[in-house]
């Protein structure tokens, strides 16, 4: 089973993807996590992408496509994957379809999360992430704060804030997303596999609600 997670930064793609991964028993691959790990390790890839991410820009297609295709060839993804943050452009989506076709596979569903812009900015500014690379649990200081300030409930590791989780960079990321990534929604809608969900405090519907319903649907 291959699932695509779509949505602007801050919609909760990572949270929903993690819950789907647990419920369906298939791994999650996040392009953002791959890039951030490369930056942390100061690899050649990390040095290349650091400038783009720090400015809230998208990493160029050719570089992103190569990284994801290399990851999709790993044996732990043989039975399925949840792709979080990829594809982000129509070119990436088309290349992904061609790559999967070569493996005799296809995307089953593209899940698109929508949240009001002002709420997205507030979410990201208050987002904290477990520093343990084996855990990476995501918290929000307002929506789901940790029981003990600054520490992960699951493993006790320190919580950190991404350098790009600030209002200025977030506005740039959102502008970039709606300009360059929005066409992908139309791409998957035309293919008949798009499933859009609104996630917002204003309607009392959060990512956990969406994930629970989707797990039940996809298990049938």
Q: What is the DSSP string of 86-146?
A: ---SHHHHHHHHHHHHHTT----EEEEEE--HHHHHHHHHTEEEES-TTT--EEETTTB--
Residue-wise burial string across 157-183, b where 16 or more C-beta atoms lie within 10 A, e elsewhere: bebeeeebbeeebbeebbebbeeebee
**Which residue among the candidates 13, 36, 71, 123 is catalytic per the annotation?**
13
Q: Which residue in the list 36, 88, 95, 123 is annotated as catalytic? A: 88
Mean pLDDT across 177-184:
84
Residue 164 confidence (pLDDT): 82
| pLDDT band at 209; cut points 50, 70, 90 | very high
For the question of residue 71 being annotated catalytic, the response is: no
Residue 162 designated active-site: yes
214's tokens: 């989707």
The model's pLDDT over 19-56, given as tens digits with 9 standing for 90+, comes to 999 999 999 998 888 888 888 888 887 888 888 877 77
pLDDT in tens, 108-128: 999 999 999 999 999 889 999
Task: Read off φ and ψ for residue 57, nearest 5 degrees.
Answer: -95, 160
Percent of the chain beyond pLDDT 70?
100
* Active-site residue, selected from the candidate residues 36, 95, 123, 127: 127
The top-scoring range by mean pLDDT among 41-45, 73-77, 179-183, 185-189 is: 185-189
Catalytic site residue from 37, 105, 162, 212: 162
Give the tens place of pLDDT for each residue, 88-101.
Answer: 889 999 999 999 99
The confidence band for 153, taking pLDDT boundaries of 50, 70 and 90, is very high
CB 107 within 8 A of CB 4: yes
- What residue spans define the domains of the chain? 2-115+181-219
Pairing mode of beta strands 138-140, 127-130? antiparallel
Which of 71, 95, 136, 173 is labelled catalytic? 173
Q: Which pLDDT does position 39 carry in this prediction?
A: 85
Whether the predicted pLDDT of 102 surpasses 90: yes
Model confidence at 133, pLDDT cuts 50, 70, 90, reads confident
Q: How confident is the model at residue 163 (pLDDT cuts 50, 70, 90)?
A: confident
Distance separating alpha carbons of residues 135 and 155, to the nearest angstrom: 7
Phi-psi region of 159 (alpha: psi -120 to 50; beta: other; left: phi over 0): beta
Yes or no: say if 130 and 159 are a contact pair by the CB < 8 Å rule: yes
Q: What is the mean pLDDT of the chain?
A: 90
Tokens of 144: 């789901």
Q: For position 89, what pLDDT does the model report?
A: 86
Reading the block at residue 45, the tokens are 């890839």
**Residues 46, 49: Cα–Cα separation, whole Å:** 5
Q: Could you tell me the CATH superfamily of domain 2-115+181-219? A: P-loop containing nucleotide triphosphate hydrolases (3.40.50.300)
Yes or no: say if 170 and 115 are a contact pair by the CB < 8 Å rule. Answer: no
Active site residue 88: yes
**Does 36 participate in catalysis according to the annotation?**
no
Specify the pLDDT at position 155: 96
DSSP 158: B
């Amino acid at each position: 089973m291959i699932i695509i997670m779509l949505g602007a930064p801050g919609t909760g793609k990572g949270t929903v993807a993690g819950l789907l991964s647990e419920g369906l028993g298939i791994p999650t691959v996040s392009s953002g996590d791959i890039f951030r790990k490369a930056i942390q390790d100061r690899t050649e890839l990390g040095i290349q992408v650091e400038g783009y991410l720090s400015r809230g820009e998208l990493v160029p297609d050719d570089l992103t496509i190569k990284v994801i295709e290399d990851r999709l060839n790993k044996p732990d993804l043989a039975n399925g994957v949840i792709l979080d943050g990829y594809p982000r452009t129509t070119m990436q989506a088309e290349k992904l379809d061609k790559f999967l076709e070569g493996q005799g596979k296809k995307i089953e569903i593209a899940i698109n999360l929508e949240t009001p812009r002002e709420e997205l900015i507030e979410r990201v500014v208050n987002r904290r992430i477990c520093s343990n690379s084996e855990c990476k649990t995501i918290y929000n200081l307002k929506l789901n704060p940790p029981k003990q300030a600054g520490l992960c409930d699951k493993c006790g590791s320190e919580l950190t804030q991404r350098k790009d989780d600030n209002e200025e960079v977030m506005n740039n990321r959102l502008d970039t997303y709606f300009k360059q990534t929005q066409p992908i929604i139309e791409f998957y809608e035309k293919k008949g596999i798009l499933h859009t969900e609104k996630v917002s405090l204003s309607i009392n519907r959060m990512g956990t609600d969406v994930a629970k319903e989707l797990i039940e649907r996809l298990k049938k």
